[in-house]
Amino acid sequence: MTAIVLLGPPGAGKGTVAEILVEQGFEHVSTGELLREQIRLKTKLGLEAAQLIEKGLLVPDGVVVGMIHSLFDRAEKGKKFLFDGFPRTLAQAIKLDELIAAVGGTLSDVILLECEDEVIIKRLSGRRTCEKCGTVYHITYNAPASGDVCDVDGGRLKQRSDDAVDTIQKRLDIYAERTAPLIGYYRDKGLVHVVDATLSIAEVRAAVFERVGK
Ligand code: ADP
Ligand code: AMP
């Protein structure tokens, strides 16, 4: 089993970049998407997580690690995981190392998508997501062919409730406080590869592909 971590602030483009690596056989694991699935299913976990997500706060480490743990339990040999939005705290990063070690796997790369706050605010406030298939668009930078309808399956495009301006700022503060320290943690292991995420979608995808897509 090998794994790659996509690290970077909310809105840097992790999910957008992940799409091309899925074509290379990676399983895209977005903890945010797994949590939103639980919210859609109205499970107990989902209802509890929704209250925190709505406010831009992190869900407890144990909840997120539990979801990742269950993926490892059923992963076959040769599996390639692409983690997006996980880990987000040092405790989660240490747990991920333990889970990988326990199955004799390798964390091969940490791709750091660097992007300043001004750019992120523009990206997140214009983000739209298909309510059926989850495809991500932007009203200006990556617009669908027609109106607020998904190109893939005609689903309705929605704005995420945590993409409200006040909540974006809260999420950026939490990233700086809780997640940015992971850059040092992974740098010490020689795993970090920095990509300038302010470039166009095509350029960012090309830079990431150059590093891990072949
Ligand atoms: P993350 O997964 O890091 O939260 P997303 O991939 O959802 O970020 O991207 C956030 C928003 O920015 C989306 O609306 C997406 O279409 C847009 N976006 C992503 N990458 C770029 C880019 N390189 N240039 C312009 N817009 C981008
Ligand atoms: P994302 O889709 O990655 O932007 O995540 C949306 C929200 O889900 C975050 O703002 C957090 O509230 C929650 N979340 C996602 N991943 C994690 C994680 N690894 N740890 C804690 N909370 C998370």
Q: What is the mean pLDDT of residues 141-154?
A: 94
Residue 72's pLDDT is what?
87
pLDDT surpasses 90 at 91: yes
Let me know if 160 is a catalytic residue: yes
Tokens of 124: 């997140």
Residue 84's pLDDT is what?
98
Residue 213's pLDDT is what?
77
Whether 8 is in the pocket of ligand 2, judged by its Cβ within 6 Å, is no
pTM: predicted TM-score of the whole model, two decimal places? 0.97
Residue 176's pLDDT is what?
98
Whether 115 is in the pocket of ligand 2, judged by its Cβ within 6 Å, is no
Q: What is the mean pLDDT of residues 58-83?
A: 93
**Centroid of ligand 2 to alpha carbon of 206 (angstroms):** 26
Residue 147's pLDDT is what?
86
The predicted-structure confidence for 168-201, as pLDDT tens digits, reads as follows 999 999 999 999 999 999 999 999 999 999 999 9
The predicted-structure confidence for 37-53, as pLDDT tens digits, reads as follows 999 999 999 999 999 99
Tokens of 55: 């406010």
**Helix (H/G/I), strand (E/B), else coil: 16:** helix
pLDDT surpasses 90 at 58: yes
Choosing from 160, 170, 178, 211, which is the catalytic residue?
160
pLDDT surpasses 90 at 75: no
**Centroid of ligand 1 to alpha carbon of 13 (angstroms):** 4
